[in-house]
Structure 1
Amino acid sequence: MGLVVAAVPALLVATATTASAHVSVNPDSAPAGGYSKLTFKVPNESNSASTTKLQVFLPIDHPLEAVSVQPHAGWTYEVKKTKLTTPLTDHDGNKVTQAVSEVTWTADSATSAIRSGEFDEFNISVGPLPDSGTLTFKTLQTYSDGSVARWIDEDESGEKPAPTLEVAGETVGAGHHEDSGDEGHAADTEEAEAASKTPLVLSIVAIVIAVAGAGLGVIRRRS
């Protein structure tokens, strides 16, 4: 009976691990109108094959004007563009007639492929993001044995959910890539001031404890 009870938690852990081991995008939400760095986390689910290729399909129903790829050591990437039915207008007023529709990373060798029990991460920068909605990045993960994991389910409860990015919240101005420098500087200043006060506070506490200890010693001797 004890063996059966002990096996139940192990089974639950194994099931949870398998269910959560899917290609995902981080962050999973971002403010409208801004730019965002997207990191695709790719775990290897096969016990006998390595992941050798990753294809990420960008939504054309919400085309992204600017897409750039961060080079990944040991992998080669390829970018494909699609002609837009309705051209975009960039912040300079220029017409954008094509948008990136696919980014493919391919391992240069077996050494750089993602082996069993491993994961890897691939980065792109995109923007400006639309005013609202969900961006779905359907993804194909190809293994060394020729099998393909199709992360294309738009329903998150599906067996192979596609990575999704929720766009909502306060709109960020076009061309805004990062948090305000003034806000960041203010936060750094507050942290520095707090850090500088810490030694003083500790010194005062130490003195109070020492004085209290000395007073207690005198009282004991008198008693």
Structure 2
Amino acid sequence: MNTTHTRPLRRRLGLAAAGSLVLVAMTAGPAAAHAEVTASDPRALAENVTLSFTSEAESDTAGISELRVVLPTGITPDAVTLKDAPKEWKLTPTPDGYAVGGTALATGTDAEYSITVRQLPDAKSLAFKTLETYGDGKVSRWIEVPTGGEKVDNPAPVLDLKAAASGAKPIAPSASPTPSTVPSAPPSAAAAAAPPASAASAEKDTGGRTGAVVGVAAAVVLLAVGIVWWLRRNRGRGQA
């Protein structure tokens, strides 16, 4: 066989094989989500359901210290209680969900915890957007919700639900949550921009005092000008 023709042929075959591997790697996508959720009873309208979450540790320098979750529509912060979590970790409700965390876990340790939900909503799937915070301040955002079977880089934990059991109905909402269990929503941008009432009052008082001082000063100046004018007038009359 002519080696002159064999070498280019081998080169083309090698390039084709490498291209095929790259194509497979690009279309394969991630093997599994880095944050996942499972349920003890994954049915719509199921009551007192335990949801278990696992967040894979990705940092080589720090451990996970907090997980903040945005609850899907139909689950309110007051309908969630902590069932199991790493030692000394606590759950704190937030306006749109909850945060669970405490002492940072050992580097490389996955964060696993579970909550109890009073009732799951009547839906086909639930997405729990999650922010992972590490002890060094790094934040990983698993907040993308895939649609139409597409692949995403940072998928949120998604729970697929089965149809509701026969006769299942939404339970009545609980009474208004107490301030100790659910914090009030953060102030709006307008409220945040406005100064506190005490500061506004102090500013108003200061402005009033400033205006009074300016007024008195102006009166003193006018009085002094008047006195000088009167003295000059009387002096002119005396000389005449």
| TM score, norm. by length of structure 2 | 0.50
Higher strand residue share: 1
CA contact (8 A) 2:70 2:97 kept: yes
The structure with higher relative contact order (CA 8 Å, sep 6+) is: 1
Unmatched tracts of structure 1, length 5 or more? 1-11, 83-100, 177-223
* Cα shift readout 1:144-200 (whole Å, capped 9, x = no counterpart): 221100000011721110011222324264699xxxxxxxxxxxxxxxxxxxxxxxx
Runs of 4 or more off by more than 6 Å in structure 1?
none
Q: Is 1:52 aligned to 2:43, yes or no?
A: no
In structure 2, stretches of 5+ residues that fail to align are: 1-23, 172-240
- Please show how residues 49-198 of structure 1 align to structure 2 within 5 Å: 49-59=62-72, 61-64=73-76, 66-80=79-93, 82=95, 101-108=96-103, 110=104, 113-116=105-108, 118-155=109-146, 157-171=151-165, 173=168
Distance 1:49 1:21 in 2: 20
Distance in 2 separating the partners of 1:114 and 1:171: 42
**2:44 corresponds to 1:32:** yes
- CA distance in structure 2 between the partners assigned to 1:28 and 1:165 by the alignment: 11
Separation in structure 2 between the aligned mates of residue 62 and residue 115 of structure 1, nearest angstrom:
35
With over 3 angstroms needed to count, the CA separation of the structure-2 counterparts of 1:120 and 1:76, relative to structure 1, is: closer
Where is the helix percentage greater, Structure 1 or Structure 2? Answer: 2
Q: Deviations over 1:49-78 (max 9, x none)?
A: 21111111112x323473211142423323
CA 1:75–1:23: 2 relative to 1, 3 Å: farther
Return the letter of the residue paired with 1:75. Answer: E
| Cα distance, 1:29 vs structure 2 | 7.6
1:80 alignment partner, SS class: strand
Instruction: Report the aligned-residue RMSD.
Output: 3.6
Identity across the alignment (%): 30
CA distance in 2, matches of 1:121, 1:69: 12
Helix, strand or coil at the partner of 2:74: coil
